[in-house]
Structures are given as structure tokens and as C-alpha cells.
């Protein structure tokens, strides 16, 4: 029986991970961490009977304790509680699915404990990739990507022996659905509402990630994450808009061959692979039917209209604390947009202003990352007048 900790169990990735666990039968949700949705977490506790659960703060923890007093689940609270869940000796795998930089310290705790980290939180590597990789080398832990694009690259790279990858892999190509506004002009985006931006054509995701997909920041963060995951500089990571979301990503080799991973747009496939790798297991989902799909199309992204992608490449070029600042500014700006405090196009405008105002800290440690993130968020609020 494989014991699994899920950090972010009430979110999109977390709930789908629980579906995979239920379908497989030889896995146990040993510990569940969530934010503030204690109603859903209570349901999960009663169904999956985890040994431990954790919520955002002490007040919520006390409320949850009272609700599940008739169970054997021990309830913890806060970042320290999440770190404890990530380090449990009984667990072999930690699914890191907490949205945003809030997931960084629990993910680091899992890495330091030598766990397999099934990483669905791209902000962890964007903001602190060098630190995470250093801790992986020290602990002997393992990192398996859960994002569909990075999982695709991970699977394609299996065809190339590790010692030959630096010489033979010419380029990584990440695909993007384009979000709900692909093909639109800046003028058409000026009055976009949060409700419209949350209507993604292909994927069922949380609010923050869905907005990132609409601005193409999600793809920018994935470029930064891919550079950390696969040791490929950002200038050798391309992006193609592929509206069908069937090809999840590709690698181009030095001889011109291109390897791709295809599948239906369903996150359960990369989630399950991250849990069972190197073994593959059957899934209950319907398989890909290419004849029914019919055609696959590709376009270059419009980085003038969707500035967030261009800003991510700029942050990758600068490095050090700039990717963290990009991420922190984006999280703050997206929150303002979701609360209808700023317009859709102002997300990129604010991020660019914050990046231009940032004084880079070279070779940052964790404290520098946390400080840069806090500064970026505060700067967004200051520039927006909030």
C-alpha cells in the first residue's frame, strides 16, 4: 500500500488525485492538507479516513477538529502543519498542489525528507528552483512533474539516455491552449470580465490558474519551470498555441526529429503517472480517439497582445530574484482582477512596472525569495492604489 500526502486536497489537482487513489485501490490518502474549504475537507476525511489533516490556521483547525471529532484523523494548522504533513515518515509520495508561493515551504520540506515530490505547483520552481534542486541533491529525493506539459516533456525525454540529453535535445516545445481569448486583439481584451476569463475552453482548473491561462502567464511560468526541471535554458524552450490540447508538449532533437506526448485533456493521466512511475497502470478514462479529433493546429503565440509570456522570458533571462518577483506580482495582480479592482490588461502592465522597479538579489537564499515575493505583492498594491 502506497501512502500519499496531498497538499491542496480540496483544489482541482487534489480532488483528481483522490479520484486516482480511489480507482487504483493500492494507494492510501494518508494525509490531506487544504486551505480554508473545511466543508469539502470534512467530506474527504470521512471518505478517505486520512491519519492527518491540515488547514490554513488555528481557528479553522479548531472548527475542523470539532466537526471530525468522531474520526481518528489528527488535525494540524498552518505552514508548520503542512511541513509536518510533507515530512511524514509513513508517506512515500507528496503531491504538491497548493496554489502559489504558499506551496514553496511545504514542498521544500518534502524534498528535504527525501520524498518523491509529485509537483503540480509550478511557482515553487519558478521562485526557488535553484534552492529546490540543491536540496534534492542533498536528500536524494525525487521530483516528478504533474503539469501536463512538463509530464509530457518528462515522458518524451525517457527516449534519450541521460548522458546524451545535453547534446541531442535541441529544443523543448510547450503547447498552450491559448485560453479563452486566443486570436483577440488588445482592444477586444480591454473590457474582459473575470467571469469571461474563467471560462476555459479545454481544462477544468482553479481560478488563479485559469486566469493565468487567459493571460498566457501560465505558459510563461511553465517556461521558467521547464528550465529548472530539465536543465534547458529558456531561450531553447518554445511555445506553440495548440487549441485542441491533444499534444501536451514536444522535444526537438538535433537531427530534426520531434517527439510528442498526446492524450485527452485530462489531468488524471499525469497525476497517476507521477504516483506510479516508472510503472504505468490502466486508467478508467476513455482513450484518445484521433479520428474523432480530426485535425491538430498550431500557431505562434501573440506576445505583443499577451505580454505576460514575454515578461516571463525576460524574467528568465535576468534570473536571480526576478522570476520570484514576476510570480509574486502576478499572484497579486490576478487577485485584484478577480475582485474587479483592475482590468484584464492591467495585469501585465502592473507586473512589468514591478519588474522594472526591482533591485535584483543575486544567488538568493530562501529568506531573499520570501522577501522579494512580499515586496512584489506590496508593490502591486501600491501601484494600483489599493
C-beta of residue 96 within 8 angstroms of C-beta of residue 115 = no
Torsion of Cα atoms, 352 then 210 then 149 then 290, to 10°:
-140
Residue with cell 483522490: 18
The predicted structure's pLDDT at residue 204: 66
pLDDT along the chain (386 residues), means of 10: 97 96 95 96 98 96 97 97 98 95 94 97 94 96 96 97 94 94 92 90 78 95 96 96 96 98 95 97 91 96 96 98 97 96 97 98 96 97 90
The predicted structure's pLDDT at residue 136: 96
The pLDDT of residue 334 is 97
3 state DSSP class of 204 = coil
The reported pLDDT for the residue numbered 203 is 65
What is the C-alpha to C-alpha distance for residues 225 and 171, in angstroms, rounded to an integer? 15
Cβ neighbours for 81, distance < 8 A, ≥ 6 positions apart: 33, 54, 55, 61
Q: What is the pLDDT of residue 206?
A: 79
Instruction: Mention every residue, 6+ apart, whose C-beta is less than 8 A from residue 192.
Output: 181, 214, 343, 344
Phi–psi pair at 92, nearest 5 degrees: -95, -30
What is the pTM for the complete model shown?
Answer: 0.93
CA end-to-end distance (rounded Å), the chain: 50
Enumerate the H helices of the chain as residue ranges: 12-24, 38-48, 58-67, 78-86, 104-112, 122-139, 148-157, 162-168, 186-189, 194-197, 207-215, 217-230, 268-276, 290-293, 307-318, 322-338, 346-357, 366-384
Question: What's the count of helices (H) and strands (E) in the chain, helices before strands?
Answer: 18, 11
Q: CA-CA distances (angstroms) from residue 78 to 33, 38, 54, 101, 121?
A: 10, 14, 7, 14, 18
Q: What is the pLDDT of residue 284?
A: 85
- pLDDT of res. 110: 98
Amino acid at each position: 500500500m502506497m501512502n500519499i500526502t496531498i497538499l491542496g486536497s480540496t483544489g482541482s489537482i487534489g480532488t483528481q488525485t483522490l479520484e486516482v487513489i480511489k480507482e487504483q485501490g493500492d494507494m492510501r490518502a494518508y494525509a490531506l492538507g487544504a486551505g480554508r474549504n473545511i466543508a469539502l475537507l470534512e467530506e474527504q476525511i470521512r471518505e478517505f479516513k486520512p491519519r492527518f489533516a491540515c488547514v490554513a490556521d488555528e481557528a479553522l483547525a479548531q472548527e475542523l477538529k470539532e466537526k471530525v471529532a468522531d474520526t481518528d484523523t489528527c488535525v494540524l494548522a498552518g505552514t508548520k502543519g503542512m511541513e509536518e504533513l510533507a515530512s511524514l515518515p509513513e508517506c512515500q509520495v507528496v503531491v504538491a498542489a497548493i496554489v502559489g508561493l504558499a506551496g514553496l515551504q511545504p514542498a521544500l520540506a518534502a524534498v528535504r525528507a527525501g520524498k518523491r515530490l509529485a509537483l503540480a505547483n509550478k511557482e515553487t520552481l519558478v521562485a526557488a528552483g535553484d534552492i529546490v534542486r540543491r536540496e534534492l541533491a542533498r536528500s536524494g529525493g525525487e521530483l516528478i512533474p504533474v503539469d501536463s506539459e512538463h509530464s509530457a516533456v518528462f515522458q518524451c525525454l525517457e527516449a534519450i539516455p541521460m548522458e546524451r540529453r545535453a547534446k541531442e535535445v535541441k529544443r523543448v516545445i510547450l503547447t498552450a491552449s491559448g485560453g479563452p481569448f486566443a486570436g483577440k486583439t488588445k482592444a477586444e481584451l480591454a473590457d474582459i470580465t473575470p467571469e469571461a476569463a474563467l471560462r476555459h475552453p479545454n481544462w477544468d482548473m482553479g481560478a488563479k490558474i485559469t486566469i493565468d491561462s487567459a493571460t498566457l502567464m501560465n505558459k510563461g511560468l511553465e517556461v521558467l519551470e521547464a528550465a529548472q526541471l530539465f536543465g534547458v535554458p529558456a531561450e531553447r524552450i518554445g511555445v506553440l498555441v495548440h487549441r485542441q490540447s491533444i499534444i501536451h508538449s514536444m522535444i526537438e532533437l538535433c537531427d530534426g526529429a520531434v517527439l510528442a506526448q498526446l492524450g485527452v485533456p485530462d489531468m488524471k493521466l499525469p497525476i497517476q503517472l507521477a504516483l506510479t512511475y516508472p510503472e504505468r497502470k490502466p486508467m478508467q478514462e476513455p482513450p484518445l480517439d484521433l479520428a474523432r479529433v480530426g485535425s491538430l493546429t498550431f500557431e505562434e503565440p501573440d506576445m505583443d497582445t499577451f505580454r505576460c509570456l514575454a515578461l516571463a522570458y525576460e524574467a528568465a533571462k535576468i534570473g536571480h530574484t526576478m522570476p520570484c518577483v514576476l510570480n509574486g506580482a502576478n499572484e497579486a495582480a490576478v487577485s485584484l482582477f478577480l475582485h474587479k479592482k483592475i482590468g484584464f490588461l492591467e495585469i501585465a502592465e502592473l507586473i512589468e512596472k514591478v519588474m522594472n522597479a526591482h533591485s535584483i538579489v543575486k544567488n538568493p537564499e530562501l529568506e531573499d525569495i520570501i522577501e522579494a515575493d512580499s515586496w512584489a505583492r506590496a508593490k502591486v498594491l501600491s501601484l494600483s492604489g489599493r
